[in-house]
Structure 1
Amino acid sequence: MSKALRRRLGRGLAAALVTGLAAFACATGAMAENTKLRFAYLLADSDLPIFVAQKKGAFQAAGLDVELTEVQGGPAVVAAIASGSADVGYAAPVPPINARLNGVMVKMVMALGHEVDPDKKFLWLVASKASGARDLGGLKGKKIAFNANGSLCELAWRDHLAQAGMSMDDVQVVILPFPQQEAALEQGAIDATCTVNPFFASMSRNAEVGAQVVASGVLADESKPILNDVIFAGDDYIAANAQSLRTFGKVIFDARKELLANRAELEAAAVEFLGLTPEAAKDFNLPIVRPEVSIGEADVQPLLDAMKRAGMLTQDIAAGDMVANMAP
């Protein structure tokens, strides 16, 4: 082989190697890109592990690029998923149940919170001292608030009022987002409200409100655990992104575990991400009855039964149609 030919072959081989290496770098760079997951939520206690995990870079480390978007209420989370502006959402279970009943094909994929008698309650019906109400009966003719129509708080009011021999016809309903309720109680615009943390922890320490708990828990009877917080997604997204959902759940599970093991970190996170004062954070707890985040038909059926009793559900539907467990 002539020297000229060897030089031409050498230059060709070098060029091929450069091209190949560049292509490999592009390919591996694409592979290294994290999977985007757009998450819509309403501000509430169960969000806290997600905020902490995001700040620590835990989602990124697990291969997820999580984009957080806050909205006002569970129905707004459903709307974000239905419109395609979010992939996954957090809310109480009633909004995704209502969504599926109305043709928005979402399913609950993880459970973030439960309640159970006697003292694991994470939803409260609270009256102001100015209302004069000290029990549910004292609210007859008064203005009561909940955050959205078709919400878990609407179900709570209906169920507890029925237990007290009353109905929604005995009160005046005001729809008011959680963040506005404390001021409304203080100003006398409403007499009572359904609230959750972090808002309960704040209003319960507000002397101007003089909060009086007239009932607690999603349902009047919580002798067995009752589901109160979920993550949900559209059917098509679940089918195409099962592994991403399981990874998302694993990061949340680990973050919850770490917060539960470190009270100081939990309180500091509640101050930083939920806006609580250090004093209010001392009363804050995550709504966790069981450590796992799995969800099944048995979690959903009691809520379907309660919604039917309350007149919020007019058709029969199988609990299995509402869930697709993606827990890690």
Structure 2
Amino acid sequence: MAPRPEDAAAPSPPPQRVRAARPPTPGRFLARRGPAVRALTSAVALTGLLGMVTSCGGATGAGGQGSQGGLDRQVTLAVAPVINAAPLYIAQQKGLFAKEGIKVTLKPVTNVAAAFPAMATGDTDMVYSSLSPFLIAVGNGQDMKLVTEVSRGAPKTVGIVSKNPAIRTPKDLEGKKIATPTMTGCNLIAGPTLESAGVDPKKIHWVELLYANQGPALDQGSIDAACTVEPFITTLGTQLGTHLVLDALTGPNQKVALDGVYAMSSYAKAHAKTVTALRDAIAEASAMANEDPALVRSVAKSVARTPADVAARIALPSFVTKNDPALLAQPVDRLVKAGAIPRRIAPAGLLAR
């Protein structure tokens, strides 16, 4: 989630922004392509550059009520309604938060980056997001902690797809125009796997386009391929006839850390028992999700609004039952190489204790 400069024969072309000929709202394309593609609107990019928080001091959080010995019984957690967040919804549905003595309000958001400043102001206690916004924030001086990982890489859950029959192997991607939701997102996740397949990522023309808008661009031929995630991989294959050119989460990317729940350091310190309670509930829900994929597919349908036929076929991530800060090293290194953060962050210090 990283291109390496040492193998480049020539400098890469500057990032471009591609806009579909039709308006960027996916509705027209989705309506024309059928109900399965409408699921794309609920799986908006999890990764994005964070508008930095300008004030981080002293926020006590949105919950605040009934705090006893560091256990805040009311917790507000901002979360995008996506498949990788399934353990959060399972924990709520199965009463696992209540079992740990906390009441968690899952606050749906579509703009995850905007939710980070809300932690500093106390409008929300925690945020679920991909790792990039969190690592970019911490790497640029924000005082935040990882409460818990949620999901890790699994085959065919992140990849590069194309509908061009001439693009069949990863090597065919060199010189092509490939969409990524942000320049610190899917392209960086795919970087190590591309390199292991003999591809020079600097020879790829990366263009910035949200997951939900990649379908129209592929359909119209304004991009050659798209770096995307489930349920887009399955839906685009069904509706546009795309094929998977690169499975990004194989080889060097097996079990790579993808996302997590985060809190301001001040909140994590003041409510250490809350952090532990929430972490334990999510770990139990993750174990249930790994053992019973039907639970995850149910969340895909009810929360992520994925059509039943697509939900039955999508590849599922691996959910985290035990945090491993060492796995954060790879995402950190990718962001350093991409210039998104100025220096390496010690992974061991990121996890709230």
Matched, 1:159 2:188: no
Name the structure 2 match of 1:269.
299
Give ranges in structure 2 of 5+ residues lacking alignment. 1-64
Inter-partner Cα distance in structure 1 for 2:138 and 2:349: 9
Matched, 1:54 2:92: yes
Name the structure 1 match of 2:284.
254
The one of 75, 78, 87 equivalent to 1:37 is 75
CA RMSD of aligned residues (A): 3.2
Q: Displacement, 1:191?
A: 2.8
Q: How do 1:270-289 and structure 2 match up within 5 A?
A: 270-288=300-318
Percent same amino acid among aligned pairs? 24
Matched, 1:204 2:234: no
Inter-partner Cα distance in structure 2 for 1:134 and 1:155: 21
Residue 282 of structure 1 aligns with an amino acid whose one-letter code is A
Question: What's the secondary structure of 2:168's corresponding residue?
Answer: coil
Name the structure 2 match of 1:63.
102
Inter-partner Cα distance in structure 2 for 1:144 and 1:203: 15
Q: Displacement, 1:198?
A: 3.0
Inter-partner Cα distance in structure 2 for 1:264 and 1:317: 37
Q: Displacement, 1:313?
A: 4.6
CA contact (8 A) 1:301 1:319 kept: yes
1:187–1:293 CA distance, 2 compared to 1 (3 A):
farther
Q: How do 1:173-188 and structure 2 match up within 5 A?
A: 173-176=207-210, 178-188=211-221
Matched, 1:195 2:195: no
CA contact (8 A) 1:34 1:65 kept: no
TM-score, normalised on structure 1? 0.73
Name the structure 2 match of 1:292.
321
**Comparing 259-268 and 95-104, the one that deviates more:** 259-268
* Offset from partner CA, 1:9-41 (integer Å, 9 cap, x none): xxxxxxxxxxxxxxxxxxxx9689972222123
Q: Displacement, 1:77?
A: 4.4
Residue 72 of structure 1 aligns with an amino acid whose one-letter code is N
Q: Displacement, 1:137?
A: 3.1
CA contact (8 A) 1:114 1:226 kept: yes
Q: Displacement, 1:278?
A: 2.1
The one of 257, 261, 264 equivalent to 1:231 is 261
CA contact (8 A) 1:38 1:66 kept: yes
1:201–1:70 CA distance, 2 compared to 1 (3 A):
farther
Residue 167 of structure 2 aligns with an amino acid whose one-letter code is A
* Offset from partner CA, 1:275-307 (integer Å, 9 cap, x none): 222222222354226x523232x1212333344
Give ranges in structure 1 of 5+ residues lacking alignment. 1-28
* Offset from partner CA, 1:207-255 (integer Å, 9 cap, x none): x2x22222223575136x3212222211111101121122222222232
The one of 346, 350, 353 equivalent to 1:318 is 346
TM-score, normalised on structure 2? 0.69
Residue 180 of structure 2 aligns with an amino acid whose one-letter code is F
- Work out the number of aligned pairs and report it: 285
Inter-partner Cα distance in structure 2 for 1:92 and 1:216: 19
Inter-partner Cα distance in structure 1 for 2:114 and 2:247: 25
Residue 292 of structure 1 aligns with an amino acid whose one-letter code is T
CA contact (8 A) 1:156 1:217 kept: yes
Q: Displacement, 1:203?
A: 2.4
1:143–1:34 CA distance, 2 compared to 1 (3 A):
same
- More helix as a share of residues: 1
Q: Displacement, 1:55?
A: 4.0
CA contact (8 A) 1:128 1:185 kept: yes
Inter-partner Cα distance in structure 2 for 1:131 and 1:70: 37
Name the structure 2 match of 1:104.
142
Question: What's the secondary structure of 1:274's corresponding residue?
Answer: coil
Inter-partner Cα distance in structure 2 for 1:123 and 1:314: 29
Q: Displacement, 1:149?
A: 3.6
Residue 200 of structure 1 aligns with an amino acid whose one-letter code is I
Matched, 1:142 2:176: yes
Inter-partner Cα distance in structure 2 for 1:246 and 1:31: 14
Name the structure 2 match of 1:72.
111
- Structure with the greater alpha carbon radius of gyration: 1
Question: What's the secondary structure of 2:318's corresponding residue?
Answer: coil
Q: Displacement, 1:85?
A: 3.3
Matched, 1:215 2:246: yes
Inter-partner Cα distance in structure 2 for 1:200 and 1:83: 37
Question: What's the secondary structure of 1:78's corresponding residue?
Answer: helix
CA contact (8 A) 1:48 1:269 kept: yes
